[in-house]
Chains A and B, each alone.
Chain A
Amino acid sequence: DAKTTQPTSMDCAEGRAANLPCNHSTISGNEYVYWYRQIHSQGPQYIIHGLKNNETNEMASLIITEDRKSSTLILPHATLRDTAVYYCIVREGDNNDMRFGAGTRLTVKP
């Protein structure tokens, strides 16, 4: 059963911020939110993860709502190379496996 809900597709203009939403209303207290992306048929690429605080790294920012039932991945200045399928995954730690859904296909347009 899917633990997350994401829009099927989104478009974004090059140079603008891309905001990708994810709903995870059944998340439990010890589950983290992870974001990955997949470009063409390459291996999924890790982007960022968090538990309840907002997180930022060199690739993106992760905003998690206070009730933790949803989150948003922000790519601050999208480029054409950010065109990919983005996956939001909730996972309990302890080195459990990641379970992928269908993700959001983000298309960055010039």
Chain B
Amino acid sequence: EPEVTQTPSHQVTQMGQEVILRCVPISNHLYFYWYRQILGQKVEFLVSFYNNEISEKSEIFDDQFSVERPDGSNFTLKIRSTKLEDSAMYFCARTVDSSYNSPLHFGNGTRLTVT
């Protein structure tokens, strides 16, 4: 059972629309991450978020993406104007604890389909 809950499990949207993907960590840790996986490809890092700020982001995470933790619990990934190539599985992750080498625990993802 994942320790991170993601909603929705599947999101279908039209090209150009905005989508918000949500992640609800069960415990209140500070480090969160978003990854994506295009069908048949590897899992790719998007962004890490620490103490309500972006800690690191990849070249994929361009201006159409944003992250926030609006209510101190949910962690969201917003895609402002979706493109066909944004179709992918999006995974949220958090560290297990605050130790230096803490592994990440992943949710089961949101499947985003852009038509």
Interface positions of A (Cβ within 8 A of B): 32, 34, 38, 41-46, 49, 51, 87, 93-103
B94-110 residues with Cβ-Cβ distance < 8 A to A are 95-96, 100-109
B73-115 residues with Cβ-Cβ distance < 8 A to A are 89, 91, 93, 95-96, 100-109, 111
A96 to chain B minimum Cβ distance, whole angstroms, is 8
B91 to chain A minimum Cβ distance, whole angstroms, is 5
- Chain A residue numbers with a CB within 8 Å of B4 are 43
- Chain B residue numbers with a CB within 8 Å of A93 are 100-102
- Look across to chain B and name the residue whose beta carbon is closest to the beta carbon of A51: B101
Q: A42-B109, A93-B102, A97-B104 are in contact. List 6 more A-B contacts (CB 8 A).
A: A43-B2, A43-B106, A51-B101, A94-B100, A95-B102, A99-B45
Chain B CB within 10 A, most for which of A32, A38, A98, A102:
A98
- Chain A residue numbers with a CB within 8 Å of B33 are 97-98
- Chain B residue numbers with a CB within 8 Å of A51 are 101
